[in-house]
Amino acid sequence: MRCQRCKEDHDRVVDSRTSADSRAIRRRRECLACGLRYTTYERVESTPLRVVKKSGERVRFDRDRILTGMVIACEKLDVSLEDLELAASRIEVGCQEEFDREVPSAVIGNLVMDELRGLHQVAYVRFASVYREFKDTEEFRRELEKLVHESGSAKSAIAAVDRNA
């Protein structure tokens, strides 16, 4: 493993354990050259899954890209990175179990929205507004109303939006 800071490949494993979802080994490492500590994950290599985008383009499935989108949606919200990691893992596992070689990007987007809806309503609305490409405030309002209707607690959902606006 190369160090992110000094690019040396001399490190030692400080701690090793199974990840929360039991599908990877989490290792804490320390660079012997500069002392930086960092985390790596070791996963079983599987048949590469491809994502079929709206345009028809096919790209490699990238769990980190899903996680990045979720982290951006949760920026400045009280959602732990561990919760997002677990959600990204559930999405990855779900796609691998459901699809052999190719998964439509719409399926992934909907899975991300489902996970975010369970983690934080504001994160869900943020992601949905970008993913569904809302054209105006009316579309945004309809999505909020749907979320409020589903949750059954209009006051708490509106208060959450007001707090984070």
Can you give the pTM of this predicted structure? 0.62
Give the angle 134-94-71 at the CA atoms, nearest 5°: 50
Percentage of the chain with pLDDT > 70? Answer: 90
pLDDT digits (tens, 9 = 90+) for 90-147: 999 999 899 989 999 999 999 999 999 999 989 988 898 887 777 777 777 787 787 7
pLDDT digits (tens, 9 = 90+) for 44-85: 776 789 999 999 999 999 999 999 999 999 999 999 999 999
34 φ/ψ angles, rounded to the nearest 5 degrees:
-120, -10
pLDDT digits (tens, 9 = 90+) for 25-37: 999 999 999 999 9
Q: Which residue has the higher pLDDT, 65 or 148?
A: 65
Contacts 24+ apart (CB under 8 A), 147-156: 147/117, 147/121, 151/121
**Nearest Cα residue to 91 out of 75, 80, 101, 103:** 103
Over 90: is that where the pLDDT of 157 sits?
no
The domain limits of the chain are 1-45, 47-164
